[in-house]
Amino acid sequence: MTSKIKFVHGNEACVRGALYAGVNFFAGYPITPSTEIAEILSQKLPEQGDKFIQMEDEIASMCAIIGASLTGHKVMTATSGPGFSLKQEALGYACMAEIPCVIVNVQRGGPSTGNPTHVSQGDVNQARWGTHGDHSIIALTASNHQDIFETTVNAFNFAETYRTPVILLFDETICHMREKLIIPRKNDIPIVNRFRTSLKKHVDYHPYLPREDGRLPMSDFGDVHRYNVTGLFHDMWGFPSNNPKIVQELLHHINDKIENSIHEITKYKEHYLENAEYILISYGSSARSAIHMAKNRTQRGEKIGVLELQSLWPFPHALVREKCSKAKAVLVVEMNMGQILNQVKLALGDSKNVFLANRIDGNLITPTNIKALLRVIQGRGV
């Protein structure tokens, strides 16, 4: 089969990636600007014999995909700010019970109902800390449709590899604009499928006992192994326990399995970064403006590069440190009040040369916006 060239909006690129990765169950609730994901899947999934359901709210959608994941399906839900808030408790459940699933948040302006039809990147911190308790999370993003496609495939792969929810943090601009997408051929991007136990009937299966390589084989509900799944701290059979040793070990496990895999999870792109004196760190649709600006200035001989992050959590502090060690100044370009900025400051320690180029009025940050700040930093006036 040859590659197929499409002209689609970002939400469709996400759906195409999900289908390529093998999504076969979706539950959701309509919300701008993510709704097209549900609409397209309501057609595509039944066409291939799979299930789509519109639930009564986002909480129910999140719960339904967890249920479907336990029967062995690759599952996804899609939402935006207010709906993402509603999903938090069940999202934390999926972290605790280690259930693979993918949650798309097409960000819009918040808090509250905010600015539904306008862009924002205000949910970056919520993706990391929206739930209660300590746990790690994987959150990925993208700035163009080809990357949305691939990132979505990665999200499913990570969910299966680490038995964890993975968040896709897209934004209104990127998901509503249209551009070219080339659908890769089968096997061009590797797919990680459900890792099931090979243990037979009557052999004691431990759903929560990691193997030496850290992976936890699963067993589908309905299969021969009957075990317990709970959001309480639990032992290796999944049964509730408040034994201090078990509690502490499990908490470490759900954090370490992700933090220790930061190299495998971290995805980024460099644009004109070599010898750059000024580095723009950006992601999602704001990265498009950053890249545009850098390209423009580089052509005029200025040394401005972009570090485009495609994975936001776990945050790649070491990578940022390495790439920015020689920069005169670092500008974080994002559409919030400095959520990634804080991580960059944490990474670079010395925050005197770290600046925020942001826009929070619901409009896409432009290359001109970024240039204006850069001129001030460079001491070239406003």
Report the alpha-carbon distance of residue 14 to residue 346 in Å, rounded. 31
List Cα–Cα distances, 334 to 20, 273, 281, in angstroms.
30, 18, 8
Using rule CB under 8 A, residue 291 touches other proteins: no
Residue choice 195, 227, 233, 268 for contact with other proteins (CB under 8 A) = 227
Min separation Cβ 371 and other proteins, Å = 48
The four Cα atoms 375, 378, 381, 382 give a dihedral, to 10 degrees, of 30
Which of 67/116 has CB closer to other proteins?
A: 67
- 111 lies in the site for other proteins, by CB under 8 A: no
| C-beta atoms surrounding 216 within 10 Å | 18
String of contacts with other proteins for each residue 18-57, x by CB under 8 A: -------x-x---------------x--xx-x-x-x-xxx
Q: Does 240 bind other proteins (CB under 8 A)?
A: yes
Indicate the helix (H) or strand (E) that contains 248: helix 244-259
Residue 110 CB, nearest approach to other proteins (Å): 23
Choice between 93 and 272, CB closer to other proteins? 93
Shortest reach from residue 226's CB to other proteins, in Å: 5
**Contact status: 59 vs other proteins (CB under 8 A):** yes
Q: Interface with other proteins by CB under 8 A: which range of 110-118, 181-189, 231-239, 358-366?
A: 231-239
- Of the two residues 250 and 341, which places its CB atom closer to other proteins in the complex? 250
**245-to-7, 134, 228, 250, 252 alpha-carbon distances in Å:** 54, 16, 20, 9, 11
Place of tokens 């259930």: 99
Instruction: Say which residues have a Cβ less than 8 Å from residue 289's Cβ, sequence separation at least 6.
Output: 282, 333, 364, 365, 366, 367, 369, 370
Restricting to residues 183-222, which ones interact with other proteins according to CB under 8 A?
220-222
State the binding string over 80-99 for other proteins (x if CB under 8 A, else -).
---------xx--x------
Interface residue with other proteins, options 177, 229, 329, 360 (CB under 8 A) = 229
Q: Which residue has the tokens 């040793």?
A: 245
Alpha-carbon distances of 27 from 22, 55, 64, rounded to whole Å = 15, 6, 6
Binding segment toward other proteins, per CB under 8 A, in 71-79, 126-134, 164-172, 332-340? 71-79
Q: Give the separation between CA 173 and CA 106, rounded to whole angstroms.
A: 9
| Binding residues vs other proteins (CB under 8 A) | 25, 27, 43, 46-47, 49, 51, 53, 55-57, 59-61, 63-73, 75, 89-90, 93, 220-224, 226-232, 239-240
